[in-house]
């Protein structure tokens, strides 16, 4: 039996991972396509006058078999893939893209949707129904419903090709990460590295069948601490070079041609759809609306951030000279000397605080914050099926034990998982006859695995990552709308980061730290003097962090504001963009083009700016909690009711203003980052 061919017969409607086999995806997609084609034919063949139920609701509810199959298939392709699944994805990707286009470009179906849109006032389509109708109407128009037959065909072919290219881009990065090993045989070359990092490297070597060696990889949990702590400049350079040249080595994993083709095809598609560029096309549906609005924010932040980064670079160069060296600060030196300077300037060594941030304690901390804010509880469930032995599952419930949703947690790196961290859903929330279908949400990260008696210990940046992704998860879990297309994180990209980024604020509050930051050996709470040092150094390194982020955002916009999208040489294009804005040679763009997965293998093309845009929102929103109380129930209730529960059921700015009472300004964000500049409208 193929488990995708009927609603899941499992507790809480979770996917039956214990019986799902790779070959089920092909059959599920095949039969799911046939099912939805028949459902679309039934809609278009209906001779009754179009109304919300026989057109929009019928379309929304169509393709259930396909949705069940692809939600699991796509998620596992990122979190627990295999060579067999990768082959299936490559084959099915274009087919699924063509199927989606066949629906959007169906003239009979669009005519019914257009009729409803044109007569929405007379038909009194209101509230969420109006929003869903608007979503479908705009989606059809923006994806070619009004094009000629020839242009529709071309757009469909472009979409299919982009799907293949995106999958290949992602596969190449995973293969590169799995292929690289920095092998160290001399213990002297481990100088400066924390003991748990050395132990993990030894375990990695043993797993690879290597004795008396230490292996470091391109997983963030390995490469970042190596760059921070390794005294060996030669080895820092080696692993840094491998990291920043992912996809740019002229081998079978090279992504340069993929980038060139994707940028060109996106530009061509935008022109066919009547837009000046891909960025104009994407941003029309975002809060920012236009590339000019995005660039105004990025440019206004760039100058003060760059000045701060220059000051930081001078301080690091001074430290190098104090050490008696005459070499010039390079990119592979930055994290190492920045960590040393932080220790010297603030007497704060990250290794002093890391033992207080075990993953399990940090998880209890974020659970506790959510419980206090939104009166919800997290109950571990060991009986539910999982897709990998490392995965944990929690039932999320109200204080009266009424279920809210199911949360999967997948925290540790493996060869079958993409790098980074993200939130996703296996089942989105919706309602059937006013009965709420509970969402099945997942958080995926790549934290250091436990080793022997040492639990998974997080850097404070990783603690923030946990809180961040948990904010996304709350957006999905607490969603309470009628239609899955409007549920949870189905909102504009530059609004989706508000719930995630606002959660990060609680992680560093002293009273919150005392509830979860306990030493994994002694059990003692993080002492006040370390909390004070963390507070004092909270703005340390913001020049570097802001500049590398803004550089990536500007690079993204530069790719996608080109009218023709033609690039002769990706590396030269990237260098030209970054030189033009004056990026320091000691700092690279947070993501270089050939491993910029957010924009070439994710949904953030022309949207990487969203994190800083949303930071304006989250800092402004959090200022209310700071004023009224971190757990002020009236404020928390308003945020939950107007933001978390609403998903995409209303205009995001209207939702924000309903919570905040006004539009956001940048003052709180600038204060948070320690930047001083003129107010940005």
Q: What is the pLDDT of residue 675?
A: 78
Burial label for 627, CB within 10 Å (0-12, 13-18, 19+), is exposed
Reference 73, options 176, 167, 179; nearest CA is 167
Catalytic residue among 469, 497, 574, 615: 469
Alpha-helical segments (H) within 245-330: 256-272, 278-283, 291-322
Q: What pLDDT score does 665 carry?
A: 85
Q: What is the pLDDT of residues 258-308, one digit of tens each?
A: 999 999 999 999 999 999 999 999 999 999 999 999 999 999 999 999 999
The token duo for 342 is 């932080």
| Cα–Cα dist 307/508, whole Å | 26
CB 101 within 8 A of CB 156: yes
Cα–Cα distance between 673 and 666 in angstroms, integer?
11
Beta bridge partners of 397: 377, 403
Q: Is the pLDDT of residue 680 over 60?
A: no
State pLDDT tens for residues 460-517.
999 999 999 999 999 999 999 999 999 999 999 999 999 999 999 999 999 999 999 9
Structure tokens at 2: 């193929």
What's the pLDDT band for 147 if we cut at 50, 70, 90? very high
Of the chain, the end-to-end C-alpha distance in Å amounts to: 58
- Check residue 607 and give its pLDDT: 97
- Residue 642 clears pLDDT 80, i.e. is over it: yes
Instruction: From residue 490, give the alpha-carbon distance in Å to each of 286, 483, 649.
Output: 12, 11, 9
Confidence of residue 667 (pLDDT cuts 50, 70, 90): confident
Question: Domains of the chain: which residue ranges?
Answer: 3-104+106-142, 180-244, 291-347+540-673, 354-517
Confidence of residue 248 (pLDDT cuts 50, 70, 90): very high
**pLDDT given for residue 679 in this prediction:** 37
- Find the mean pLDDT for residues 184-200: 96
Residues 138 and 284: their CA atoms lie apart, in Å, by: 10
CATH (one of 3.40.50.300, 3.40.309.10, 3.40.390.10, 3.30.70.890) for 354-517: 3.40.390.10
511 is catalytic: no
Tens-digit pLDDT profile for residues 356-385: 999 999 999 999 999 999 999 999 999 999
Cβ neighbours around 158 below 10 Å, total: 19
Q: Tokens for 211?
A: 């004795």
Helices 256-272 and 149-179: angle between axes, nearest 10 degrees: 160
Structure token digits, residue 178: 């799995």
Nearest to residue 427, comparing CAs of 2, 1, 10? 10
Condensed to tens digits (0 to 9), the pLDDT of residues 570-591 reads 999 999 999 999 999 999 999 9
> Nearest to residue 405, comparing CAs of 433, 364, 436, 368?
436
Helix 542-560 to helix 291-322 angle (10° resolution) is 140
3-state secondary structure of 216: strand
User: Are 156 and 265 within 8 A, CB to CB?
Assistant: no
Encoded tokens for 260: 């060139």
Nearest Cα to Cα of residue 31 among 1, 11, 60: 1
66-111 pLDDT, tens digit per residue, is 999 999 999 999 999 999 999 999 999 999 999 999 999 999 999 9
676 pLDDT higher than 70: no
With contact defined as beta carbons under 8 Å apart, do 225 and 196 qualify? no
- Which CATH code is given to the segment(s) 291-347+540-673? 1.10.1370.10
Residues in the chain: 681
pLDDT at residue 417 tops 80:
yes
Average pLDDT, the chain: 96
pTM of the predicted model, to two decimals?
0.95
User: CATH number of the domain at 3-104+106-142, out of 1.20.1050.40, 3.40.50.12590, 2.60.40.10, 3.30.70.120?
Assistant: 1.20.1050.40
User: Which residue, chain included where needed, has tokens 């609603």?
Assistant: 7
């Amino acid at each position: 039996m193929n488990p995708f061919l009927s609603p899941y017969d499992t507790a809480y409607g979770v996917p039956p991972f214990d019986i799902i086999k790779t070959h089920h995806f092909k059959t599920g997609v095949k039969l799911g396509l046939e099912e939805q084609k028949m459902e679309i034919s039934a809609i278009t063949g209906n001779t009754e006058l179009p109304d919300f139920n026989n057109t929009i609701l019928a379309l929304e509810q169509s393709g259930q078999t396909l949705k069940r199959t692809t939600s699991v298939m796509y998620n596992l392709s990122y979190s627990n893939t295999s060579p067999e699944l990768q082959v299936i994805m490559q084959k099915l990707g274009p087919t699924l893209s063509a199927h989606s286009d066949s629906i959007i470009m169906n003239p009979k179906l669009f005519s019914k949707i257009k009729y409803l849109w044109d007569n929405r006032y007379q038909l009194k389509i209101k509230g969420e129904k109006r929003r869903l109708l608007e979503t479908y109407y705009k989606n059809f128009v923006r994806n070619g419903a009004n094009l000629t037959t020839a242009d529709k065909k071309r757009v469909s072919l472009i979409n299919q090709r982009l799907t293949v290219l995106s999958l290949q881009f992602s596969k190449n990065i995973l293969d590169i990460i799995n292929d690289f090993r920095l092998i160290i045989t001399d213990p002297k070359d481990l100088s400066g590295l924390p003991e748990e990092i050395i132990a993990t490297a030894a375990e990695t070597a043993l797993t690879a069948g290597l004795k008396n060696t230490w292996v470091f990889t391109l997983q963030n949990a390995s490469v970042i601490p190596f760059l921070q702590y390794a005294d060996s400049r030669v080895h820092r350079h080696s692993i840094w070079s491998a990291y920043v040249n992912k996809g740019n080595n002229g081998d079978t994993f090279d992504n340069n041609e993929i980038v060139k083709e994707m940028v060109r095809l996106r530009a061509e598609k935008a022109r066919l759809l009547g837009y000046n560029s891909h960025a104009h096309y994407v941003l029309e549906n975002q809060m920012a609306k236009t590339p000019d609005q995005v660039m105004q924010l990025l440019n206004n932040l760039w100058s003060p951030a760059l000045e701060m980064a220059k000051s930081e670079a001078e301080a690091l160069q001074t430290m190098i000279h104090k050490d008696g060296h005459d070499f010039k600060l390079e990119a592979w030196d930055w994290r190492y000397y920045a960590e040393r300077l932080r220790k010297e300037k603030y007497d704060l060594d990250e290794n002093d605080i890391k033992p207080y941030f075990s993953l399990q304690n940090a998880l209890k901390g974020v659970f506790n914050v959510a419980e206090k804010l939104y009166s919800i509880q997290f109950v571990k469930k060991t009986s539910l099926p999982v897709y990998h032995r490392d995965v944990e599952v929690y039932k999320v419930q109200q204080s009266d034990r009424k279920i809210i949703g199911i949360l999967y947690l997948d925290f540790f790196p493996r060869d079958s998982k993409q790098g980074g961290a993200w939130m996703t859903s296996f089942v989105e929330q919706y309602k059937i006859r006013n009965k709420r279908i509970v969402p099945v949400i997942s958080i995926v990260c790549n934290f250091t695995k436990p080793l022997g008696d040492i639990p998974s210990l997080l850097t404070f940046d990783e603690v923030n990552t946990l809180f961040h992704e948990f904010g996304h998860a709350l957006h999905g879990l607490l969603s309470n709308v009628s239609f899955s297309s409007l549920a949870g994180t189905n909102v504009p990209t530059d609004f989706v980061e508000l719930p995630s980024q606002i959660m990060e604020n609680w992680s560093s509050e002293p009273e919150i730290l005392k509830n979860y930051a306990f030493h994994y050996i002694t059990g003692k709470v993080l002492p006040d003097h370390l909390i004070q040092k963390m507070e004092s150094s909270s703005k340390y390194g913001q020049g570097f962090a802001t500049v590398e982020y803004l550089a990536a955002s500007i690079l993204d916009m530069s790719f996608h504001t080109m009218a023709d999208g033609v690039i002769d040489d990706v590396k030269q294009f990237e260098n030209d963009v970054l030189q033009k804005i004056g990026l320091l040679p000691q700092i690279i763009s947070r993501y270089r083009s050939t491993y910029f997965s957010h924009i070439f293998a994710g949904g953030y093309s022309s949207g990487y700016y969203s994190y800083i845009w949303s930071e304006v929102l989250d800092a402004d929103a959090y200022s209310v909690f700071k004023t009224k109380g971190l757990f002020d129930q009236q404020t928390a209730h308003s945020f939950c009711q107007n933001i978390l529960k609403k998903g995409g059921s209303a205009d995001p700015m209207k939702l924000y203003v309903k919570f905040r009472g006004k539009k956001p300004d940048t003052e709180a964000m600038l204060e948070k980052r320690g930047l001083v500049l003129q107010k940005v409208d």
